A and B are shown apart, each in its own frame.
Chain A
Amino acid sequence: MKKLYTILASIEQAGEHMIRLENVSKKFKINGRDDTVIKDINLSINKKEIFGLVGETGSGKSTILRLMNGFIEPDEGSIYLRGEKLDRKTRHQLVKETSMIFQGFNLLSNLNVIDNVLLPTKIRKGNKKENIDKAKELLSFVGLEDFHQSSIRTLSGGQKQRVAIARTLITNPKIIFCDEPTSALDDKMSYEILKLLKDINEKFGTTIVLVSHDISVIKALCNRVAILENGRIVDIVSLTTKEIKPVSYKEALLSD
């Protein structure tokens, strides 16, 4: 009985932490020289949290994101997703419970909007009809119900990012990684994307990890933020997030 309790307790604990990094370091070789990028990172990200990573260019924030989804393997330390250790064997399975949004949207230009959204389901296999219905539902959710058959080149940046968001949502991910999701967008479109991410977090309870160099993006969205400098976490700050409001150019110019 006692053993059962410990098992239950460990499951409970695993459930709380969506992502856990223990003493993670990663070196990259640049011009044949070892150049440490990530140094001894310890970090836990909770369920349903919107967690931010900020830092200068080259501080290693994007690298941490790629370590978290297993695209890059750490040299030292361990990474756990939902309590399971990420390694070469498990990474393809674990990454399927996550998804990612990129700065450059990374849609397939040879597929139309709905086929881009359906792409992750093709990889996983499943009921085709159900998937198509779900893709249509998600495209309505992101405000693109009239664009099912459009080709990607006809869309604006904000619309492309919304297609990418619909694409991440189709597999019901537990975690969404966002790498500078609004950097390529103007303020109004950025606002729409941030609002959408917030809605997703509230509606589906999805954990979101957000990398940005833009403080206003981080402030608008994140519950907690890790500040990175030269591959180390120098501080973790808790934020009380406000309601995201659209700001006109005039307001932005006049505010402090």
Chain B
Amino acid sequence: MIKTDILIIGAGPTGLFTVFEAGLLKLKCHLIDALPQPGGQCSEIYPKKPIYDIPAFPEILAGDLTERLLEQCKQFKPGFTLGERAETIDKQEDGSFIVTTNKGTKHHAPIVAIAGGLGSFEPRKPLIHNIHLFEDKGVEYFIKDPELYRNKRVVISGGGDSALDWSIFLTDVASEVTLIHRRNEFRGALDSVDKVQELKNKGKINLITPAEVIGIVGDYEVSAVVVKQSDNIHIDKEFEVECDHFIPLFGLSPKLGPIANWGLEIEKNAIKVNNALDYQTNIPGIFAIGDVNTYPGKLKLILCGFHEATLMCHAAYQIINPGKKYVLKYTTVSGIDGFDGTRKEAPKATVKSIK
């Protein structure tokens, strides 16, 4: 059981900044995120894209923003449960909560802060009528352990970076790699496209374009996929490609998911909160901050998430330390005492006379 003061669901910019603000109040944080890395949308969808409305950053790449937020909060030693989705929440008799992930990891905290953005990222599944019958029986939407494909025949479909990169990687692992894409053009880093071209020329990647997988063949487990290929005079032909694994990589799309069943008031796919006070939900002790919440006048902006996180932490302090006095201090005055023993502080003024 992981124990913490504030359990944050979602490791995007709002969740990461919460760690910093909570740390100033000597509250410890632990974050859960369905993605394998922190940063949320900023890392997953647009790490190389600039953002122009972060105060004091005329321009910053979304990936760099994540890096800086991690740097800013690191002395407060946040814990992470990554690659797992928060599934259930159980309120305890003392008012605290136990949150369990889809992999069974349990987290115990008096305060839960949902900073889940648009939800957890789920793979986009291609529209193949019988694909659900083969999930985890040869069809995988994520590559978790490349060793699964050792000496196997693998078909990958998709045209983005992950389809390209995994095709390249698996040529050294699998016995046969086939890449299928609806077009001849791929989007992705230029060197990945070049590498796939090179591997195709060497016969290490079997490239089938423009084509798509329209069916799966197999008795319990995948034995082949049905491919429909168009030639340049628009005559389609269908054929089977024998394989042990089919890995469709069509990106991820966010879904509110299990959080929607936690008894929280939901409106417009977002969680209603009290914006006049502290961003608490209808369940005392559970807060919602950042893009995942809604209230009159809500704007889904990173900078609004930072503000909401700050007010939420102060409300959490009051719940965890009832009646205990606290006066807000400027960090310039208080300095920052990390949980790792480090201290940052403003240099003392030097007093020296001029003779």
A and B bind: no
Binding site for A on B (CB under 8 A): none
